[in-house]
Structure 1
């Protein structure tokens, strides 16, 4: 089941923030793990106020998508629940409430890049992320 909410607190916030951290560490092995660990508290605070689409079943969060306006700030699915269509369902939920979506994905995160292409996103630019010194691809989806 997908829940659409603004903000989050309590145990569910902890669960979502933990998925954020573990997913970033796994998907971005090319970035120093301390970058993600040092940003954990800031990310948790941002998540607590963000527009969220949360995939939950059996009383547990299995994935979530965080929005900042029309920008997808992050899409994360817990490792043991990947390749089950959860990410696609979260994107579909965001598309149902937004006519334009943008995001940024690291060039080296080829799995995520391919996923977004399959979801109908296209490249709009390549930029150097000066904080991580990695190239990021800006992508966009628009409703027809």
Structure 2
């Protein structure tokens, strides 16, 4: 017996998430560069690899992925997938700097896949601010989290 999957709460659109702060330490930046086989760039000691935009966006929602799943009413039979991700980098991230984030759910959507499954999506935008210049954003990360609804 299958139960109907309830619609995502339309009140999620525009919902602000707590946000957070993240500091890119020299040590973590060096580990990241090593793990990614980043080229030996003379600016590497001053600028963090751009993958840090994704790291800060995940940390910067201010809620865990499990808490995001709860907002989307994810059930044990559902599968979380990472959809698309867009990074608008205004300036490079600096090693040793702390970044403050704001985050919000911008959109929800539901569609039916070719195999007949229901696929819900939540679009979350995280904006990063360097705390040394807190009024100017250094970039935004827009991520789409997909919830493939399973049979219950």
* TM-score over 0.5 for the pair: no
Comparing both chains, which one has the higher relative contact order based on Cα–Cα distances under 8 Å and sequence gaps of 6 or more?
A: 2
After TM superposition, the score normalised by the length of structure 2 is: 0.26
TM-score by length of 1: 0.27
Higher helix share: 1
Larger radius of gyration: 2
